[in-house]
Each structure stands twice: as structure tokens, then as C-alpha cells.
Structure 1
């Protein structure tokens, strides 16, 4: 069902932005609860999208920090 995927992902995108803006890292849980009252299917797809987006963000932050560390180590080991 493409519609449920599109709706859930669009909402997840907006909720991620709201979390970044407000610092409320549990907002998505309350949104999921509100969705689930009407559509458990949409709730599950929304939570899947949220988990994917949050995991991607965590992975990206780790990767950026690790890459910076590796570059700094490489620069420190290169003789001038």
C-alpha cells in the first residue's frame, strides 16, 4: 500500500524536524499513540519510518565523528 507508506514517511519527516526544533525526543511516541487510535497500520508504518530515520541520523553522526577522528589522526601522523 503506497499511500500508507507515503503518509507515514511524510509525517515522520515533519516529526523529526519538530524534534530537532523543540528538543522533545519523545514527540514521536505521542504522535504514534494518537495515530494508533484510528489506524494501527499507519502507526506501525510511521514507527518503522521513525526508527529508520533516527537510526540513519545516529549512524551519520557516528560516521562524521569517526571520519573526523581518522582524518585528524592521519594529519597528525604526516610529517611536515
Structure 2
């Protein structure tokens, strides 16, 4: 992993933590603007890392909800008297 990738990954991780703590899921755009003013390469790598993490979180939440719904439906079937 290059220094660029390492820095972008760590900054993306820290940004997402800050977004959750502050309740503002658009902070990554502000950080991106700051990066873009001095390093387009770091900005692009950072945005890719943020998008990957945010997408993974959404995908995981979808999967967890899908499994919960299926388990609840299965439990309701087995609990329903015949």
C-alpha cells in the first residue's frame, strides 16, 4: 500500500467517525475540498476510500435488516397455531 493510499484510508476512517460523532454525514465533502486545494491525487484517493466505507455500511445495514426480517417471518410461522 502506498503512502497516498495509507493516508487516504486513515483520513477516510477518521472522517466517518467524526461524521457519526457530530451527526453530519457530509463532512467528507468539506475535507475533500480542503484536500483538493493542495493535492488532487490525495483528494481522489480519499473520496474513493470514503465511498467504499459508506457503501459497505449501507450494504451491511441492508443485509442485517434482510436477515432480521426473514428470521422474524420464520419465527412467526412456527409460533402461529394451526
- Please, what TM-score do these two structures have when normalized by structure 2? 0.92
Distance 1:55 1:67 in 2: 18
Alignment RMSD: 1.2
Q: CA deviation at 1:77?
A: 1.0
**Alignment gaps of 5+ in structure 2:** none
What is the 5 A alignment of 1:40-55?
40-55=40-55
Deviation >3 Å, runs of 4+: none
Give the 3-state SS of the residue equivalent to 2:24 in structure 1: coil
| Deviation (angstroms), 1:78 | 1.5
How many pairs align? 80
Counterpart of 1:75? 75
**What pairs up with 1:1-80 in 2 under 5 angstroms?**
2-79=2-79
C-alpha distance in 1, partners of 2:49/2:77?
A: 42
